[in-house]
Amino acid sequence: MVKILWNDRIINEEDVKIGFEDRGYQFGDGVYEVIKIYNGDVFTATEHIDRLYESADKIQLVIPYTKDVLHKMLYELIELNEVKNGQIYLQVTRGTSPRQHNFPTPAVESVLTAYTKETNRPLSQLQTGVKACFVEDMRWLRCDIKSLNLLGNVLAKQEAVSKDCFEAILHRGEVITEGSSSNMYGIKNGVLYTHPANNLILNGITRRVIFACCEEIGMPVVEEAFTKQQALEMDEFIMSSTSAEVMPIVSIDDQMIGSGTRGQWTEKLQQAFEKKIPVSVGI
Ligand code: PDD
């Protein structure tokens, strides 16, 4: 029987009751996290929980449990579901109340749900790399919030998939921001370039792990936006996310990046990343 975290209780899946006037369902009024489980351990749990509370704070949503309680509940959930390798999806909405755009007054209790899923690492794609394409970034101006409003991301990913691509590289005008569900980086002459963590991108947890890896392998990081043209001229290109890890992008809009295969810096970054995760499957 699959167990679900529902507010501060772990219950059977069929006992979960979500109101049809839940504001997450009607307005996308909530925040979420996707967290990786490696070898029965929650990877970068503290960072994800901190970012969840930060996102909630930015939309004035109060999560009525401490970070410590949530941390413990997530471990309990993966233990009960016996997940060894996979992920946790966690979301918190502003709760259920009669539909109106402004916040409910008085405030209602937020609704937290979290569940686990067994997943495999994308091992072969981490070696061969993936194709991507440019898609206009049409999202709002608070992409730093990990909000449930994902229609802009959904449409961008759908466009990429319809072009047989793994990911959409979003751009505002000529400037690359991030991916539809990932961060983007170019590597030129041994330097890693990526968009600064401002309101136009989500400051990925994997992005932060990558910065630590760069430090370890002696690769300078420049947090500066670059253009579509500069992207095409990079020696190597990568995307990162909780599920895709450090993923090589070997072509953009069918134009080969560098040699069109995983580059040497990318491989070094992947090896450094691999050392940080509590399982070594090898890539
Ligand atoms: N997406 N940018 C966007 C828009 C994202 O949705 C994500 C993550 C990232 C990378 O963040 P992190 O390294 O913390 O996973 C960047 C998750 C995985 C998702 O929505 O499935």
146: annotated active-site residue: yes
Q: What is the mean pLDDT of residues 28-48?
A: 97
CB atoms within 10 A of CB 225: 18
181 CB under 6 A from ligand 1? Answer: yes
Instruction: Tell me the pLDDT tens digit for each residue of 199-242.
Output: 999 999 999 999 999 999 999 999 999 999 999 999 999 999 99
Q: Which of 275, 278, 51 is nearest to 147 (CA)?
A: 51
The pair phi, psi for residue 236, each rounded to 5°, is -145, 155
30 CB under 6 A from ligand 1? Answer: no
- Write out the E strands in 70-159: 86-93, 111-118, 130-136
One-letter amino acid for residue 276 of the chain:
K
Residue nearest to atom 20 of ligand 1 (CA): 181
203 CB under 6 A from ligand 1? Answer: no
How close is the Cα of 145 to the center of ligand 1, in Å?
11
CB atoms within 10 A of CB 237: 27
Instruction: Tell me the pLDDT tens digit for each residue of 146-174.
Output: 999 999 999 999 999 999 999 999 999 99
93 CB under 6 A from ligand 1? Answer: no
Residue nearest to atom 5 of ligand 1 (CA): 181
Give the residue extent of every domain in the chain.
3-118, 123-274
pTM beyond 0.85: yes
CATH fit for domain 123-274, picks 3.40.50.300, 3.20.20.450, 3.40.470.10, 3.20.10.10: 3.20.10.10
Looking at CATH, the fold of the domain delimited by 3-118 is given as D-amino Acid Aminotransferase; Chain A, domain 1 (3.30.470)
- Distance between CA 201 and CA 217 in Å, rounded? 25
Q: Above 70 in pLDDT, residue 281? A: no
